[in-house]
Structure 1
Amino acid sequence: MHGKLYLIGCGPGDADLLTLKALKTIHKLDIALIDHLLTQEIIDLILPHTKVVFVGKEKGKHSFPQETINAMITEYARQGYTVGRLKCGDPYIFGRGTEEAIYASSNGIETEVIPGISSALSGPLSVGIAPTARGVSTGVSVVSAHLSGDRVNLSWIPMLGVSDHTTVVLMGLSRIRQIVKEALDQGIDPHLPVAIVSNATTAIQSSIVTTLSELVATAKGAPKPAILVFGEVVNLSQILPKYRYEPKEVSYDIAHAG
């Protein structure tokens, strides 16, 4: 009898932002496959009887190929285990969740996907930026600056020229020079506001507000992981409240209910 795979969105970092369903599911796992960006306070919620397997894929360091992760998921599930793939943010927002769901399902593994809060939305909020705001921005785009094979993605640059639009860029910090050069070459306003938001919703959250022309210099030393936010909404960070991280002093036994 096969086990089951759960693709669990674990949110941007603060364990308080886990959904109840994610929390309950984490507590019933036999096997937990975790990424390198998963925060320790979320890892600490995994119960002692659960086997934890690190399958992080960190740029520039030894990592597990996706094929290996897929094979591990299938092997554990076919042994009858309840397997959880704990993923930062949401499983289907610029992660490998889609590939893993397709692979598992095509191999006869029952699969359930649990949504999570993406840093693309929680990151701006955490530093007082509203991606859409009446009179400032009528829409928001979420893009990645990184493609497979360590290729850069700059196809979204023209969106920076839309006056009432917000662009949130994931995995873009290491591509700053290419982003700025392409944007300026395409005639994007050098004074366009930009925010760098690092470690959103965690105890070490930080942010930098700058402009497109100053982005290369300002980004030096910015902590990772980080997102970039382009648009006039960045100026709202001077007005709107910031996310307040609270040290954890309570248990999460509610995960055992229901």
Structure 2
Amino acid sequence: MGKVYLVGAGPGDPDLITVKGLKTIQQSDVIIYDRLVNEELMNHAPKNARLVYCGKSPDYHVLKQEEINNLLCKYAKDGCIVTRLKGGDPFIFGRGGEEAEVLARNGIPFEVVPGITAGSAAPAYAGIPLTHRNYSSSVAFVTGVKPKGYHAIDYWRHLALGPETLCIYMGVRNLPHICEILINHGRSPLTPVALVHCGTTEEQQTVTGTLEDISQKARGISNPAMIVIGEVVRLREEMKWFEEMANHHEFQTPAVSG
């Protein structure tokens, strides 16, 4: 029997993977990795490691989740050390919980290696602190896709006057609807909003506005993007350190090393 590591690769910048996550890559026989994983990390895999791409975009899945689950079990039962490499954190909208359930039911040893989720990293690189003593003492990570078993209006109604900061994954397509519902259920139309596209990478782009106008301003923004809603977005103008670094061509951060 082998072993499976469910590893968070971080939000995009390869330097943001954890030390333990890097070690699992270096010892792997098989690496099964997602679309949002920076492929530079594959350079640290053993030369004879099998690399299996199972990327998922909103409209297309190379492999269905059941097929991924079956591969994890198959390779582990063949005696392999398997790294399931997922963008961000495997247990935050990464379906890592479902994979862990399957492994547990099949008696396969596994470990979870948490990663830095885009919900915290993308705003940080955009100069937006999710909490701040003067602006927000609560934050919620939520999905922009209606959860099964919930009515969409009820889902957003509960969030409208709840946490002061909302970080929304997978919400670009539904952005106009999300803004409309939040306003209808009590959030001020003037609540600041930011969209951060490809956060932590050189392709990062940030657009800001309010609930009433962000849908128009962000028309050119596509997935992957994080949506941040709340007063903390106001701090971006004085804290946008990543753009300042980009303007001075200071992207040369130390490469990941083993």
Secondary structure of the residue aligned to 1:189 is coil
Matched, 1:246 2:248: no
Partner in structure 2 of residue 31 of structure 1: 30
8 Å Cα contact 2:14/2:256 also seen in 1: no
**CA-to-aligned-CA distance 1:188-218 (integer Å, 9 cap, x gap):** 2111100001111111111011110112111
Partner in structure 2 of residue 256 of structure 1: none
Partner in structure 1 of residue 161 of structure 2: 161
In the TM superposition, residue 12 of structure 1 has moved relative to its aligned partner by 0.4
Structure 2: 5+ residue runs without aligned partners?
A: none
8 Å Cα contact 1:125/1:242 also seen in 2: no
In the TM superposition, residue 118 of structure 1 has moved relative to its aligned partner by 0.5
**CA-to-aligned-CA distance 1:214-248 (integer Å, 9 cap, x gap):** 12111211132001000000000012242457346
Q: Residues 41 and 246 from structure 1, CA distance in 2 versus in 1: closer, same or farther, beyond 3 angstroms?
A: farther
Query: Matches of 2:167 and 2:61 in 1, distance apart?
Result: 28
8 Å Cα contact 2:195/2:208 also seen in 1: yes
Show structure 1 runs of 4+ deviating over 6 A.
Answer: none
**CA-to-aligned-CA distance 1:25-72 (integer Å, 9 cap, x gap):** 110000000111112222333332211001112221243111111111
Secondary structure of the residue aligned to 2:208 is strand
Cα RMSD (Å): 2.0
The one-letter code of the counterpart of 2:63 is F
The one-letter code of the counterpart of 1:166 is T
8 Å Cα contact 1:12/1:201 also seen in 2: yes
Q: Residues 192 and 242 from structure 1, CA distance in 2 versus in 1: closer, same or farther, beyond 3 angstroms?
A: same
Q: Residues 247 and 47 from structure 1, CA distance in 2 versus in 1: closer, same or farther, beyond 3 angstroms?
A: farther
8 Å Cα contact 2:143/2:171 also seen in 1: yes
Query: Matches of 1:152 and 1:251 in 2, distance apart?
Result: 44
8 Å Cα contact 1:30/1:51 also seen in 2: yes
In the TM superposition, residue 184 of structure 1 has moved relative to its aligned partner by 2.6
The one-letter code of the counterpart of 2:208 is V
TM-score by length of 1: 0.90
Query: Matches of 1:152 and 1:44 in 2, distance apart?
Result: 44
Query: Matches of 2:190 and 2:42 in 1, distance apart?
Result: 41
Secondary structure of the residue aligned to 1:13 is coil
Structure 1: 5+ residue runs without aligned partners?
A: 254-258
Q: Residues 141 and 250 from structure 1, CA distance in 2 versus in 1: closer, same or farther, beyond 3 angstroms?
A: closer
Secondary structure of the residue aligned to 1:146 is coil
Matched, 1:43 2:47: no
